[in-house]
Amino acid sequence: MKFVCTVRYSAMLILISLVMFPHEASAQREKDIGQTLEQFAKIAGGWYLNKKCKNLSDELAREFEWHAAKITVQLGKENVNKKLLFGIQKSARDVSSKLGCNKDADNIIIQTLVLARSLSAKLTGERYSGGKSDAQYAMGNFVRIALAVEVIMKKCSQLNFDEKMVSESTNTFNAMAHQLKSKYP
Taking the C-alpha atoms of residue 117 and residue 43, their distance in angstroms, rounded to an integer, is 10
Q: What letter would DSSP give residue 79?
A: T
**Contacting residues for 133 by C-beta, under 8 A, at least 6 apart:** 63, 66
Q: Is residue 4 part of a domain?
A: no
Residues 107 and 158 both lie in one domain: no
Q: Is residue 28 part of a domain?
A: no
CB atoms within 10 A of CB 131: 12
> Model confidence over 94-132: pLDDT tens digits?
999 999 999 999 999 999 999 999 999 999 888 877 666
> Model confidence over 130-185: pLDDT tens digits?
666 666 666 666 766 767 777 776 776 666 666 776 677 777 777 777 776 676 65
Last residue in a domain, options 81, 112, 128? 128
Residues 93 and 134 both lie in one domain: no
Domain containing 142 equals 130-185
Number of domains in the chain: 2
Tell me which residue of 137, 130, 138 sits closest to 178, measured CA to CA. Answer: 138
Q: Is residue 24 part of a domain?
A: no
Residues 42 and 122 both lie in one domain: yes
